[in-house]
Structure 1
């Protein structure tokens, strides 16, 4: 094995979290991000990296270009998606099977905002604000002028700022407390307790992707959502366990039935009550969790 190959193999494990992190932030999919990581590794293994001064930046650049291509083709797939789309859950706590770079930009809330951006805006924002790339480097990835790259990042930053301003936030401790309280009420089928926990204007969003039974539009209103949750939680989808886990850098509930994960739940809190409850049920988005042991 040559010295160049030795260097690449020695440094790959150190840089892989950044490669995966860039792809996941751009695509919102663990499976697609893993495909990008494999593509980057194959490209790097076949290349002469002896003259590459910053190997991490070089690898992330390749990941960004490949993700950009996927993003442009994924627009049609997103339009054909059955029901609400939610990001594929990324385990980031002690249960995580792999090391990843974690910050606010991998949270469910952020990835939902990212989904509203155009592909160039997403790439420009992630490379500049998360990975500190220059606009010269970003322009090269997008094959546009530097002013165009700068404008794309600016538009993305403005939209994300507006979303942050309009989205309630809560400390991690409050999120965990509310999730645990919700878990007790949900498993017990306690309608009154659930109504008390839910904001009157709560939205219940379920992503089944057409693969399992799930509401194809958000369910609205505290009373109605509580009634649906009691019916679902005491019926076919009653979990054996609901495990508190770290998903996308935030507390979440992982629902397990017969030893298999069948949903991952995150929430938005407003004034000490649940303003939005999000449930990923699409089995295609949960397959990678089979290798993870929760609780």
Structure 2
């Protein structure tokens, strides 16, 4: 993908240098905004490329705040995609999960990492309407003014403020009902879970799973996967042990995904599963597994 690092746009003298320097600085924000709004690495990359092409043809002398302008262009494109995504999502086979984004030292895409890029948060934002999601991400994550957000959504500034406020309340309620564990606790639980999984230790897995845990698998109809949620610690552990025997992973890595520690399963030289978890009081309350090859090919 042409990410704008090696070629410069046409335009007035000085514009090429400004965009080149600005793009180096603000590209992570552009990609990060698109990923938060769409939950897809591939779509976020496409939007980022669109923004670069738009910037390359624009007169940047008329732009005071380049970062805000670039993020706004990205958000406008994402908003168009979001409004059509509902139809695509309804046709999706089985549960839908966000496309995993590696955010550790080996990440291919630089991205501004905070709570809003975690899989749990992306799932919460998935429940928002497209206008609410755009208003929330642009204001609460990227600090854009409501007048600018209003232009993206085609509403008044007070209406944009109201959309962000409503989204903020919904997000706060969802986060309160499922608080996330501290980093050290996640490391301890996931390390113990990996050891039990590799050993096929059913009892060990049950001890780490909440009695009411929910297991979500996103295969997208591309690979055999549970098309319904599976509930209950013992039932989930049994499924995991059975799947582990069938898949026989070459190795299981602990890696940073969406700013949080996750499990990455490898087999035959490729990533075939990325698993993120919700942990509360030392137990896994939600286990989310992405096996859809289309969502893993960028890894």
- With the shorter chain as reference, the TM-score category is over 0.9
Unaligned 5+ runs, structure 1: 290-295
1:175 match:
186
Does 2:164 align with 1:144? no
Alignment correspondent of 2:4: none
The TM-score normalised by the length of structure 1 is 0.96
Measure how far apart 1:97 and its partner are: 1.5
Counterpart position of 1:102: 113
Q: How many angstroms does 1:145 deviate by?
A: 1.2
- The residue that corresponds to 1:52 in the other structure is 63
Quick check: 1:288 aligned with 2:298?
A: yes
Contact 1:40 1:63 in 2 (8 A): yes
- The answer to whether the aligner puts 1:117 opposite 2:141 as a matched pair is no
**Partners in 2 of 1:125 and 1:30 — Cα distance?**
20
Aligned equivalents of 1:187, 1:233: Cα separation in 2: 8
The Cα shift of 1:281 comes to: 0.6
Output the CA distance in 2 between the equivalents of 1:173 and 1:205.
24
User: Equivalent residue for 1:262?
Assistant: 272
In the other structure, the counterpart of 1:293 is none
Kindly indicate whether residue 205 of structure 2 is the aligned counterpart of residue 194 of structure 1: yes
TM-score of the pair, normalised by structure 2: 0.94
- Which range moves more in the overlay, 24-33 or 161-170? 161-170
Question: For 1:63, which of 74, 93, 108 is the aligned residue?
Answer: 74
Deviation, structure 1 residue 168: 3.0
- 1:241 Cα offset (Å): 0.7
2-structure distance, mates of 1:164, 1:196: 24
Match 2:96 to one of 85, 92, 102? 85
2:253 matches 1:243: yes
Report SS of the residue matched to 1:53. Answer: coil
Deviation of residue 6 (structure 1)? 2.0
1:187/1:234 contact within 8 Å kept: no
Q: CA RMSD in A?
A: 0.9
Question: Matches of residues 125-140 of structure 1 in structure 2 within 5 Å?
Answer: 125-140=136-151
In structure 1, distance between residues paired with 2:271 and 2:190: 17
Measured in 1, the distance between the counterparts of 2:84 and 2:296 equals 23
Q: What is the rounded CA distance, in whole Å, between the counterparts of 2:285 and 2:100 in structure 1?
A: 20
Q: Distance in 2 between matches of 1:234 and 1:193?
A: 16
Could you say what secondary structure the match of 2:150 adopts?
helix
Give the length in aligned residue pairs: 288
Match of 2:171 among 144, 160, 177: 160
Q: Provide the secondary structure at the position in 2 that maps to 1:214.
A: coil
**Cα displacement string for residues 7-35 of structure 1 (whole angstroms, at most 9, x for unaligned residues):** 11222111100000110000000000000
Counterparts of 2:281 and 2:22, CA distance in 1: 46
Deviation at 1:98, TM superposition (A): 2.6
SS, match of residue 174 in structure 2:
helix
Q: Structure 2: which 5+ residue stretches go unaligned?
A: 1-9
Distance 2:250 2:41 in 1: 25
Distance 2:290 2:41 in 1: 13
